[in-house]
A and B are shown apart, each in its own frame.
Chain A
Amino acid sequence: MAIMSWRLPATLAVAAVLCGALPALAQAPIRIGASLSLTGTYAKLGSYQKEGYELCAEDLNRKGGLLGRKVEFAVYDDQSTPATGVRLYEKLITEDKVDAVMGPYSSPITEAAANVTEKYKKVMVSPLAATTSIFKKGRKYIFMVISPAEVYLEGLVDMAAKRGLKTVAIVNEDTLFTKSAAIGTAEVARKLGMQVVLQEAYPKGHTDFSGLLTKIKAMNPDVIAAATYFDDAVAITRQMKELNVNPKMLGVTVGGDLPEFYDLLKQNAEYIYGATQWEGALPYPGQREFLEAYKRKFNREPVYHSASGYAGCLIYAEGVKRAGTLEADKVREQLLKLEMKTAFGDYKVDADGFQIAHKMVILQWQDGKKVTVWPDEVASGKARFPTPAWNQR
């Protein structure tokens, strides 16, 4: 033992010297494991996230890697099912013995996989989970990147209140995400002194909104905030025109940000507000480099899933850099303290790892283009307000 006691530090010292001297990449790479939805319902979105991870690894390696080691992703396909995701994280951690993990795609799979990563005390930055409850269950090692559902229409209501509007009607599809978005919107509206004159859900797959819109028309609210997916956003807009429901502002959550929204509705999409996690045109640090590198590598424009995956991986890397180690508790400490600006926007979490800095942006369709109108710091244009009558759009 006496011999060991000096030999070990000596070996380490030699190793340290060698590490400094040798090119960084000669060491064994840091392997980051993740399960992503590469087939099944979420196939498209999961592969966008994978592209974000790949681009991040490339970026890190070009700048000398992480802790002087090369970064490599080990990605499996969870077929868009939570049960497979659980099995794969178990395998990544116990069999493949990866050095770190990153989050899967979607809230349901993250919710399930988080049980595994918590069990093995692995830090998991989860760039594509937007459900608040995942982060509010006392889990210690999970970190959120995107804005939660509740704040999707915060900007719409904020803009309305600043323009002196008083009443808002909130409708939502009766499913997890949209329900949270509606509840959050109502809360913000009340906080800003607006009156919520109606808050009503409709079942998934609802196609005829005449009854609901007739009711809303009679209440004549200043603002209609609709927590939607794509097809209901389109159906509601079309029927609002038919029934001549004409609020001063109409905002939708998911759907309004897609190019198809305008393709479908043409001039009827004008003046409508949409919400999005991210846009390529936002003036975030590193944005230009990200867009260029992405286009070079994948030959098309990125969507927010790629940007968030990319940023989430950089955020984890920054935590590791500051901790100077891969040890989960130390990285966790750094990630809890970290405030960072990436190509995806701001990152800062509360004590639960819940995202509190990232801002949704509100956009408005103007002459067939999406113009960012909120928040003011990143707005690329002024909102056209109020919305004119349907036949003057």
Chain B
Amino acid sequence: MSLVITPAMLGQVIVSGLLAGSLYAMVALGLGLIFGVMRVLNVAHGPLLMLGAYVTFWLFSTVGLNPYLSLLVSMPLLYLLGMLLQRFLVYRVVDAPELSSLLLTFGVSIAVVNLAQLAFTSDLRAVEYLTGAFVLGPIAFSKSRLIACAIAVAITAAAFLFLQKTRLGKAIRAVSQSREVAQVCGINVGRIHGIAFGLASALAAAGGSLVAVMVAIQPEMGQVYTFKSFLVIVLGGAGNYPGALLGGVLLGLIEQLSSLFLTTQVNEAVAYILLVVVLLVRPTGLLGGRAS
């Protein structure tokens, strides 16, 4: 059966891709932040997202808190956890070769997932909150995904403003550009590292709280976001924050478009092939690495 792809179908798929992409961008920004500031690849980023999803689930199922309001709890909680992780574990590998940071965060990731399995069991959970879609002409906007996109865009914009405009944000960017010079200028690098790790974890938590409304929650749900985030920051340029946005949106679009034009099975392959091409043609990522 030959399939004719109509403009409406294309429009639908692009909308879905953009909605998904905004979320990827926000989560990947966190991973990019840690890499930019510390040169640490945080494999535990996805599992931290999972913890955010559980915060939302528990608040929803015990006290009936609106899942979107639970962001106000999950983000500060994970900010704290992120800071603690940095303070007690990650600081050891900041100047070590990148393999050490991979090994350490990989260990943290396994520990977090297994502790979650112990504490929450592997039972699948879900937050049944918003279903259905707003329909605009031939195109449907999933309610939960549309709201998630709006919140993700707002949080990402806030994170950017913070990095661009505030003193602390400038300090973070300074450390990410050159740690030594920043230190010479009187910036407490250790403190900045802690804050950056906390912020990144809060971004992961926000992602978790938002996807909690869309997908089933279980301890192993996070890993896939670690991989997607890696893909996004390498596509956009590791350490380049606007690059993470571009990469996120691109990944969302690639996934849905390859599903429509090719098959769903290959959408990861398409994303990784694009990654290889980008690395061959522009090894620093689409927007170049390390800028800020």
Contacts and interface: CB of A to CB of B under 8 A. Distances in A.
A244 interface: yes
A215 B259 contact: yes
Interface string B67-95: 00000000000000000000000000000
Interface in B6-61: 6, 9, 12-13, 16-17, 20
Contact of B265 (A200, A263, A265): A200
B119 interface: no
B216 A264 contact: yes
A326 interface: no
B274 interface: no
Nearest to B268: A203
B259 A212 contact: yes
A212 B265 CA distance: 10
B20 A242 contact: no
A243 B264 contact: no
A284 B132 CA distance: 40
B9 A218 contact: yes
Contact count band on A = 35 or more
A264 B126 contact: yes
A23 to B, nearest CB: 45
Contacts of A206: 264
Nearest to B217: A231
B214 A235 contact: yes
B264 A235 contact: no
Contacts, number: 116
Nearest to A221: B1
Interface string A21-44: 000000000000000000001001
Given A206-B264, A243-B12, A231 B3 contact: no
A343 B130 CA distance: 41
Contacts of B128: 263-266
Given A239-B142, A241-B131, A201 B9 contact: no
B132 A242 contact: yes
B164 interface: no
Nearest to B16: A210
Contacts of A242: 131-133, 140, 142-143, 145
A203 B122 CA distance: 21
Contacts of B6: 218
B263 interface: yes
Contact of A238 (B1, B131, B135, B256): B131
Contact of A214 (B12, B216, B218): B12
B9 A215 contact: yes
A120 interface: no
Interface in A199-236: 200-203, 205-212, 214-215, 217-219, 230-231, 234-235
B221 to A, nearest CB: 8
Given A215-B3, A242-B132, A201 B265 contact: yes
B76 to A, nearest CB: 26
B4 interface: yes
Nearest to B211: A207
Contacts of B215: 207, 231, 234-235
Contacts of A238: 131, 214
Nearest to A200: B263
A268 interface: yes
Interface in A296-335: none
A66 to B, nearest CB: 36
A44 B3 CA distance: 45
Given A211-B259, A212-B259, A218-B3, A203 B214 contact: no
Contacts of B17: 210-211
Interface string B102-142: 00000000000000000000111010100111010000101
A260 interface: yes
B267 interface: yes
A159 interface: no
Nearest to B146: A242
Contact of A200 (B122, B133, B224, B264): B264
A174 interface: yes
Interface in A140-175: 171, 174
30 contacts: A44-B122, A200-B265, A202-B265, A203-B268, A207-B211, A207-B215, A207-B224, A208-B16, A208-B20, A208-B256, A210-B142, A211-B260, A212-B264, A215-B3, A215-B259, A215-B260, A218-B4, A219-B3, A234-B126, A235-B214, A241-B131, A241-B133, A242-B142, A242-B143, A242-B145, A243-B140, A244-B133, A260-B126, A264-B126, A390-B132
Given A211-B260, A242-B143, A243-B140, 19 more contacts: A174-B265, A197-B1, A202-B264, A208-B16, A210-B12, A211-B255, A211-B258, A214-B13, A215-B9, A215-B260, A231-B218, A235-B216, A243-B142, A244-B133, A260-B124, A264-B128, A264-B216, A265-B128, A268-B131
Interface of B: 1, 3-6, 9, 12-13, 16-17, 20, 122-124, 126, 128, 131-133, 135, 140, 142-143, 145, 211, 214-216, 218, 221, 223-224, 255-260, 263-265, 267-268
The 7 closest A-B pairs by CB, nearest first: A211-B259, A210-B16, A231-B216, A242-B133, A211-B256, A202-B264, A205-B224
